[in-house]
């Protein structure tokens, strides 16, 4: 199910993009934490009064602000970009190009090849979120020493982000395992996660579009529920189950499919 | 038991593409040529031997193991050269060689280094920027490096310059002496002529001929071509030969008064006796060449279809 040599090689191949995305996320995270001032919120509220964006900023706490910005936009779209590109390059693009033939002409089983690639995708996202969490904690310590911040809630925001990305990556990974052509793998493996992201955003921006939230996996990452003490465990569990089921399905499809190599 | 067995292999990609009811066996120590024009189904067949594709009908076995069910087991003792070279980018040649060695659990790199030297491969460069000829040489080294007993080579010499082609043929002969079993596909006849013990020709997904070149070369019959000085004698010969069971008529060219006849060695004396009655302009043996034999299957529009004498 796992091969160290392939894992090392995969880390190397995807390191550049991973570093760029992790860096960008860290910078955005630190920046948004640094610029937070309680007055900023009220100023902003004045500016956007009467516009559809008003709803987004109704919560005025520090974590509320971070949840509406970083954990809704930057912190979601950046790892999404990493996932879309990487999931395709892990399997489908190697089948499409033909370089997969080399891995499979060694005694390494298909299940080990695909298992290693899945392990990489999950690990890379996990490490990314952990790094951003640590950067966030430091930034809070440095820039928001005076603000009361519920660290448990902050950590839960990050756990949720990871689980969301785990589930989203399972979608992209599934299509990467299914299709032999990069373009098909990308069409669905990028299209569906992006649609999820947009549906959630639309549902938030305007009440009349709220129904769209039921079309989005991202709605299971409910930052309001986490911060307001609502129920979030069921959603977290759902994200975990979706992720596990789709990863396992993808691996099984790759292990049993016909490869035009 | 044959090392590579292909039994009624069928894979229909639709529109009459794919392979249909292919069967042949490759015995231990045999170098087997798998010949056919582009799109004939060579790569498709090899894909099944490697266990990448699942047959729709039939089976392929390597060392008695089902290719589809035991793909990874088979690879332990098999070297594969893909028809299209798609190397992972971002690596240098040497990093790639080392990675493949690691994946195969190899420790001893003596033979690998021997191959690198033999093919004058410079594996230090980045794979992305490596010239095609160098990539092909690298792929050959990768296929042979762990000294496997079975080699499956898909169009191995395409993209090699003539000098490297000769070195490659030399390598095949070395491997053959070591008792390796080799499948070698090609769409160019001359590439396999020099090395193969046995050949199959595939066209439009079907095997159309399987033969042993040496048997054909030393076949117990000869072909002769001769021209008559007198038209009437040519006509007389035409009617006489029709009643002769022992002579096989290859061609009768009325405009030139020429005949091409094939005779079993055992019947050669009675043939000479027969022909002695005639007034001939010339009489010569038509040397058998495998290429002529092969070209017969390629259709008549080939520029080399006329053959060589
Ligand atoms: N994965 C595939 N899907 C559909 N058609 C294919 C596929 N692979 C090969 N073919 C078709 O099958 C035929 C045989 O191809 P191939 O085995 O690659 O021929 P060769 O290696 O002898 O040049 C060709 O017509 C090719 O277009
Ligand atoms: Mg081919």
Whether residue A261 lies inside any domain: the answer is: no
Kindly report, residue by residue over A75-131, the tens digit of the pLDDT. 999 999 999 999 999 999 999 999 999 999 999 999 999 999 999 999 999 999 999
Any CB–CB contact under 8 A between B50 and chain A? Answer: yes
**Atom 3 of ligand 1: nearest residue by CA position:** B13
Which residues share a beta bridge with B211? B199
Rounded to 5°, the CA angle A129-A132-A138 comes to 140
Q: B211 or B298: whose pLDDT is higher?
A: B211
Selected residue of B12, B72, B83, B145 to mutate for chain A interface (largest A Cβ count, 10 A)? B72
Cβ–ligand 1 contact at B82 (below 6 Å): no
Q: Do B86 and A99 touch (CB under 8 A)?
A: yes
pLDDT of B302 over the 60 cut:
no
**Atom 12 of ligand 1: nearest residue by CA position:** B18
Best mutation site among B12, B15, B17 for ligand 1 pocket (most ligand atoms within 8 Å of CB): B17
pLDDT of A46 over the 70 cut:
no
**pLDDT bucket at B213, cuts 50 / 70 / 90:** confident
CA distances A190 to A10, A204, A244, B40, Å, are: 20, 22, 19, 36
Q: A81 or A51: whose pLDDT is higher?
A: A81
Q: Angle at which helices B93-103 and A4-35 pack, to 10 degrees? A: 120
Identify the pLDDT of residue B298.
67
Token couple for A183: 């373009």
Whether residue A245 lies inside any domain: the answer is: yes
The domain of A119 spans 4-256
How many whole angstroms from B18 Cα to the centroid of ligand 1?
6
Q: Do B87 and A12 touch (CB under 8 A)?
A: no
Taking CA atoms, what residue in A is nearest to B148? A106
Identify the pLDDT of residue A58.
52
Q: Of ligand 1's atoms, which has the minimum distance to the CA of residue B38?
A: 23
Which residues share a beta bridge with B5? B25, B61
Kindly report, residue by residue over B68-100, the tens digit of the pLDDT. 999 999 999 999 999 988 998 889 999 999 999
A106 chain-B contacts, CB cut-off 8 A: 75, 100, 103-104
Q: Do A102 and B100 touch (CB under 8 A)?
A: yes
pLDDT of A67 over the 70 cut:
yes
Token couple for B94: 């040497």
Q: Do B105 and A107 touch (CB under 8 A)?
A: yes
pLDDT of B146 over the 90 cut:
yes
Whether residue A35 lies inside any domain: the answer is: yes
The domain total for chain A is 1
Flag the least confident range among A28-42, A111-125, B181-195.
Answer: A28-42
| Concatenated DSSP letters of A63-120 | HHHHHHTTTTTHHHHHHHHHHHHHHHHHTHHHHHHSTHHHHHTSS--HHHHHHHHHHH
B73 chain-A contacts, CB cut-off 8 A: 107
* Mean pLDDT on A154-171: 96
Q: State if pTM tops 0.90.
A: no
Q: Which of A164, A171, A120 lies closest to A1, judged by CA?
A: A120
Q: B213 or A38: whose pLDDT is higher?
A: B213
Q: A140 or B1: whose pLDDT is higher?
A: A140
pLDDT of B304 over the 50 cut:
no
CA torsion sign for A130, A133, A139, A142 is negative
How many whole angstroms from B42 Cα to the centroid of ligand 2?
6
Alpha carbons A139 and A13: distance in angstroms, whole number: 31
Identify the pLDDT of residue A54.
59
Token couple for B22: 């292919």
């Amino acid at each position: 199910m796992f091969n160290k040599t392939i894992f090392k090689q995969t880390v190397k191949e995807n390191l550049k993009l991973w570093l760029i995305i992790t860096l960008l996320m860290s910078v955005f995270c630190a920046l948004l934490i640094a610029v937070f001032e309680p007055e900023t919120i009220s100023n902003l509220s004045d500016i956007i009064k009467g516009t559809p964006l008003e709803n987004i900023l109704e919560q005025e706490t520090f974590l509320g602000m971070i949840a509406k910005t970083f954990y809704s936009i930057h912190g979601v779209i950046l790892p999404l970009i990493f996932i879309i590109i990487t999931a395709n390059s892990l399997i489908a693009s190697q089948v499409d190009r033909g370089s997969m033939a080399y891995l499979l002409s060694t005694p390494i089983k298909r299940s080990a090849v695909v298992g290693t690639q899945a392990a990489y995708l999950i690990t890379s996202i996990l490490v990314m979120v952990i790094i951003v969490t640590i950067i966030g904690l430091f930034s809070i310590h440095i820039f928001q020493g005076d603000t009361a911040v519920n660290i448990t809630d902050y950590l839960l925001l990050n756990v949720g982000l990871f689980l969301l990305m785990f589930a989203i990556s399972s979608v992209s990974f599934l299509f990467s395992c299914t299709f032999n052509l990069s373009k098909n793998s990308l069409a669905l493996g990028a299209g569906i996660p992006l649609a999820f992201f947009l549906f959630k955003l639309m549902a938030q921006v305007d009440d009349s579009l709220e129904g769209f939230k039921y079309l989005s996996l991202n709605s299971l990452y409910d930052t309001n529920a986490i911060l307001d003490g609502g129920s979030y465990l069921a959603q977290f569990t759902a994200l975990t189950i979706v992720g596990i089921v789709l990863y396992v399905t993808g691996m099984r499809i790759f292990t049993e499919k016909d490869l035009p190599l | 038991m044959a090392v590579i067995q292909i039994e009624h292999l069928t894979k229909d990609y639709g529109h009459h593409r794919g392979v249909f009811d292919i069967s042949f066996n490759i015995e231990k120590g045999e170098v087997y040529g798998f010949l056919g024009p582009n799109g004939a189904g060579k790569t498709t067949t090899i894909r099944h031997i490697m266990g990448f594709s699942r047959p729709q009908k039939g089976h392929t076995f390597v060392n008695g193991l089902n290719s589809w069910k035991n793909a990874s087991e088979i690879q332990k003792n098999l070297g594969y050269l893909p028809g299209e070279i798609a190397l992972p980018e971002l690596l240098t040649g040497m990093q790639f060689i080392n990675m493949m060695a690691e994946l195969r659990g190899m420790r001893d790199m003596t033979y690998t280094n021997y191959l690198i030297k033999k093919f004058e491969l410079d594996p230090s460069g980045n794979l992305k920027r490596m010239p095609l000829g160098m990539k092909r040489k690298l792929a050959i080294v990768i296929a042979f490096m762990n000294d496997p007993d079975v080699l499956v080579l898909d169009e191995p010499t395409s993209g090699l310059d003539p000098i490297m082609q000769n070195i490659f043929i030399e390598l095949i002969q070395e491997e053959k002496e070591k008792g390796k079993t080799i499948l070698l596909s090609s769409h160019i006849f001359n590439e396999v002529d020099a090395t193969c013990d046995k050949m199959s020709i595939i066209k439009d997904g079907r095997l159309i001929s399987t033969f042993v070149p040496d048997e054909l070369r030393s076949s117990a019959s000869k072909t002769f071509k001769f021209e008559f000085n007198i038209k009437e004698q040519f006509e007389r010969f035409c009617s006489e030969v029709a009643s002769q069971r022992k002579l096989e008529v290859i061609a009768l060219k009325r405009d030139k008064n020429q005949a091409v006849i094939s005779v079993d060695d055992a019947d050669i004396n009675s043939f000479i006796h027969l022909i002695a009655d005639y007034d001939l302009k010339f009489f010569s043996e038509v040397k058998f060449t495998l290429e002529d034999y092969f070209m017969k299957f390629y259709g008549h529009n080939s520029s080399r279809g006329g053959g060589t004498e």
